[in-house]
Amino acid sequence: MRLFFAIDLDEAVKDELEAVCGRFRGQCEAANFTRRENLHITLAFLGETAPSRLPELRRILDEEKRAAFPIVFDHLGRFARRGGDIYFAGVQKSERLLELERSLTAKLRRAGFPTEEREYVPHLTLAREAVLRSGISPQKALFPVKIQAVVSEIALMQSERIRGRLVYSKVFVQKFNQDTQ
């Protein structure tokens, strides 16, 4: 099973993110845009994981009891890649989001799961393999956004190809207390 922990978003936030994609799409010659149902913020990528480890992952998820908290997507960003760049909605610095990621990563490491060593950059991928239209520089393609969201749950997600299409589905969910103080 190809697994990762993620933050799913409500439909109103996905509407706003799709509007950002629409605005960005006009600047692209080619791009592989994230489908609406796959929009998420990754917290920890596990990769191929044996189904026998699901109980451990459930326990780790169950330990993440906390209050829901707000985040803000405040910019469009870019990771340069050969063959086409990744463009994303960047998340404004949030100590609560960073603490959640650190907590989850520490628990995964203690349980022997592989985790990424690079610094966590909270973002939501909008487009992969993006090639801009002639005359549009990456700097000109980037623009500010302001989308407010609430992190009200995290999920263990499975990634699989079904009839050639990438599909993410929730395996387990941990809902947060709705008191967002």
Do 49 and 42 form a contact (C-beta atoms < 8 A)? no
Instruction: DSSP letter for 34, please.
Output: P
Query: What's the confidence (pLDDT) of residue 179?
Result: 66
Reported as a pLDDT band with limits 50, 70 and 90, residue 117 is: confident
Q: Is the pLDDT of residue 178 over 90?
A: no
Query: What's the confidence (pLDDT) of residue 58?
Result: 97
Q: What would the two tokens of residue 74 be?
A: 């405040």
Query: What's the confidence (pLDDT) of residue 125?
Result: 96
Q: Is the pLDDT of residue 154 over 90?
A: yes
Q: What would the two tokens of residue 13 be?
A: 């936030």
pLDDT digits (tens, 9 = 90+) for 39-91: 999 999 999 999 999 999 999 999 999 999 999 999 999 999 988 899 999 99
Q: Is 21 exposed, middle or buried (0-12, 13-18, 19+ CB in 10 A)?
A: buried
What rounded mean pLDDT belongs to the chain?
94
Whole-model pTM: value is 0.92
- DSSP-based three-state secondary structure for 44: strand
Q: Is the pLDDT of residue 3 over 70?
A: yes
Which residues contact residue 51 at a Cβ distance below 8 angstroms, ignoring those fewer than 6 apart?
1
Q: Which 3-state string (H, E, C) describes 97-116? A: HHHHHHHHHHHHHHCCCCCC
Query: What's the confidence (pLDDT) of residue 2?
Result: 96
Which residues contact residue 7 at a Cβ distance below 8 angstroms, ignoring those fewer than 6 apart?
40, 41, 43, 151, 153, 154, 155
Which residues contact residue 24 at a Cβ distance below 8 angstroms, ignoring those fewer than 6 apart?
76, 87, 126, 127, 141
- Cα separation, 174 vs 146, whole angstroms: 26
Query: What's the confidence (pLDDT) of residue 149?
Result: 97
- Cα separation, 132 vs 141, whole angstroms: 8
pLDDT digits (tens, 9 = 90+) for 59-68: 999 999 999 9
Structural domains of the chain sorted by starting position, each given as residue range(s) with its CATH number in brackets? 2-175 (3.90.1140.10)
